[in-house]
């Protein structure tokens, strides 16, 4: 078996083309983002190998007649001199009626050389405003104006200020600036599985001026679409 870990650590392995690992028990495809920041590249590779190792452990129980499947795909959705925003989509089939999808994101502070959260960009009040805007957007864009009563509690939990950890920056019409924050939700988080993964984009005007100094330097312009 060719270990994905070795391939991910090899020079150039962070290219967009997926690294494929196949055994009688499973099929896995991993595509780690190609980034120039060495510390971010190392973090993305390490996290990819960690989650793939978990999948391998699950796959040890697979039936060769129904092999397990796994995919990991990165996308750099925003990059500036100060910030890099990466989205990671994951999917695994480990038996049952269907596979499971989930999303991970990384906001990378280039100067500090480490991941950052919303609190690096927004004040506590700004996060609260983002939370309220995200809930309103879900109600309008995903539920058509009225959330099914069965899902209200789930939506409230998923959009609570402390729950908004899976997000990316969205570029706008001003070079080097982010115009929106996109909040991402895995299937079942804010609606039935049939709705799949969901996302809402919140324009900067919804949470400004409640931003940090770093946020003031980052946000600007209007949405691209």
| The pLDDT value given to residue 11 | 31
Domain boundary among 56, 81, 116: 116
CATH number, domain containing residue 8? 3.30.565.40
DSSP type of residue 119: G
Whether residue 93 sits in one domain with residue 25: yes
Whether residue 210 sits in one domain with residue 129: yes
Whether residue 125 sits in one domain with residue 107: no
Q: Which tokens is 137 given?
A: 């957007």
| The pLDDT value given to residue 9 | 34
Question: Domain for residue 48, yes or no?
Answer: yes
pLDDT in tens, 156-203: 999 999 999 999 999 999 999 999 999 999 999 999 988 888 999 999
DSSP type of residue 139: I
pLDDT band at 224 (very low <50, low <70, confident <90, very high): confident
Rounded CA gap, 128 and 75, in Å? 27
Task: Output 5 or 183, whichever has higher pLDDT.
Answer: 183
pLDDT in tens, 23-58: 999 999 999 999 999 999 999 999 999 999 999 999
| Residue 12 dihedral angles phi and psi, to the nearest 5° | 80, 0
Pairing of strands 26-31, 167-171: unpaired
Q: Which tokens is 85 given?
A: 């925003």
| The pLDDT value given to residue 194 | 83
Whether residue 192 sits in one domain with residue 124: yes
Q: Which tokens is 120 given?
A: 């690096």
Listed in sequence order, the residues at least 6 apart from 6 whose beta carbon sits closer than 8 Å to its beta carbon are: none
pLDDT in tens, 20-29: 999 999 999 9
Question: Domain for residue 82, yes or no?
Answer: yes
Whether residue 45 sits in one domain with residue 141: no
Give the strand order in the sheet containing 26-31: 19-22, 26-31, 68-79, 83-93, 100-109, 114-116
Q: Which tokens is 164 given?
A: 């908004």
Whether residue 124 sits in one domain with residue 93: no
Question: Domain for residue 225, yes or no?
Answer: no
pTM of the entire predicted model: 0.89
C-alpha distance from residue 33 to each of 12, 66, 105, 113 (Å): 11, 30, 12, 17
Rounded CA gap, 14 and 88, in Å? 13
Whether residue 189 sits in one domain with residue 169: yes
Question: Domain for residue 46, yes or no?
Answer: yes
| The pLDDT value given to residue 48 | 97
| The pLDDT value given to residue 2 | 34
Residue 14 has pLDDT above 90, yes or no: no
Mean pLDDT of the chain: 92
The answer to whether the CB of 138 falls within 8 A of the CB of 187 is: no
Whether residue 207 sits in one domain with residue 196: yes
Question: Domain for residue 210, yes or no?
Answer: yes
Whether residue 132 sits in one domain with residue 202: yes
Domain boundary among 50, 83, 116: 116
Report the DSSP beta bridge partners of residue 178: 171, 219
Question: Domain for residue 223, yes or no?
Answer: no
| The pLDDT value given to residue 16 | 56
Domain boundary among 52, 84, 116: 116
CATH number, domain containing residue 205? 3.90.640.20
Run of H or E including 170: strand 167-171
Pairing of strands 26-31, 178-185: unpaired
Question: Domain for residue 105, yes or no?
Answer: yes
| Residue 27 dihedral angles phi and psi, to the nearest 5° | -130, 130
The mean per-residue pLDDT over the stretch 120-129 comes to 98
Count of domains observed in the chain: 2
Whether residue 104 sits in one domain with residue 8: yes
Half-sphere exposure of 127 (CA within 13 A, CB side): 17
Percent of the chain at pLDDT above 70? 93
The mean per-residue pLDDT over the stretch 72-89 comes to 98
Residue 7 has pLDDT above 80, yes or no: no
Residue 98 has pLDDT above 70, yes or no: yes
The mean per-residue pLDDT over the stretch 143-150 comes to 96
Tell me the DSSP string of 24-65. Answer: SSEEEEEE----S-HHHHHHHHHHHHHHHHHHHHHHTT-BTT
Range of the domain at 152: 118-218
Whether residue 124 sits in one domain with residue 97: no
Question: Domain for residue 137, yes or no?
Answer: yes
Report the DSSP beta bridge partners of residue 29: 20, 71
Whether residue 105 sits in one domain with residue 75: yes
């Amino acid at each position: 078996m060719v270990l994905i870990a070795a391939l991910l650590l090899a020079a150039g392995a962070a290219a967009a083309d997926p690294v494929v690992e196949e055994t009688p028990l499973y099929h896995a495809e991993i595509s780690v983002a190609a980034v120039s920041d060495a510390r971010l590249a190392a973090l993305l590779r390490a996290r990819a190998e960690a989650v793939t190792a978990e999948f391998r452990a699950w796959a040890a129980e697979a039936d060769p007649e129904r092999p397990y499947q796994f995919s990991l795909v990165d996308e750099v959705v925003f990059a500036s001199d100060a910030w890099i925003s990466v989205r990671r989509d994951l999917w695994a089939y480990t038996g049952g009626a269907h596979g499971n999808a989930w999303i991970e994101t990384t906001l990378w502070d280039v100067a500090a050389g480490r991941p950052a959260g919303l609190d690096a960009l927004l004040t506590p009040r700004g996060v609260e405003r983002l939370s309220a805007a995200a809930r309103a957007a879900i109600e309008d864009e995903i539920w058509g104006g009225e959330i099914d009563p069965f899902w209200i509690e789930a939506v409230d939990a998923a959009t609570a200020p402390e729950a908004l950890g899976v997000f990316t920056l969205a570029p706008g019409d001003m070079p080097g600036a982010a115009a929106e924050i996109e909040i991402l939700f895995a299937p079942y988080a804010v609606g039935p599985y049939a709705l799949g993964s969901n996302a809402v984009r919140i324009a900067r005007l919804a949470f400004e001026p409640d931003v940090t100094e770093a946020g003031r330097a980052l946000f600007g312009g209007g949405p691209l679409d």
